[in-house]
């Protein structure tokens, strides 16, 4: 079973994940997000396994100057640079 897009929903891509804080991500444009927003995290495109959903996360705080997002709780396992942040309910299983 794979995931397919139902429309435009990709908000941003992860630039870097903090090694010290498991709740913090650097993104390209933090201004497209808001506190309390639920985003889905998908494995970076181009892997041989197709697009894989890593899980969901809720944004707790946004730092616009640093382009960072702090999340409520830990991020999904294996979240890494290059992964996509997608608006909830845009992707469906096929």
Q: Which pLDDT score is estimated for 34?
A: 92
Band the pLDDT of 7: cuts 50, 70, 90.
very low
pLDDT(90) > 80: no
User: Which domains are assigned to the chain?
Assistant: 3-93 (2.40.10)
At residue 87, the pLDDT reads 77
CA dihedral 70, 25, 43, 7 (to 10 degrees): 60
Percentage with pLDDT > 70 across the chain:
72
pTM: 0.77
Mean pLDDT value of segment 34-59: 81
């Amino acid at each position: 079973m794979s995931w397919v897009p139902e429309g435009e929903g990709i908000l941003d891509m992860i630039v870097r994940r903090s090694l010290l804080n498991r709740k913090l991500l650097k993104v390209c444009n933090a201004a497209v997000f808001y506190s309390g927003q639920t985003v889905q995290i998908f494995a970076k495109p181009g892997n041989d396994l197709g697009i894989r959903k890593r899980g969901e996360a809720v944004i707790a705080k946004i730092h616009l100057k640093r382009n960072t997002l702090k999340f409520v709780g830990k991020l999904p396992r294996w979240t890494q640079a290059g992964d996509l942040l997608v608006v909830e309910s845009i992707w469906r299983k096929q």
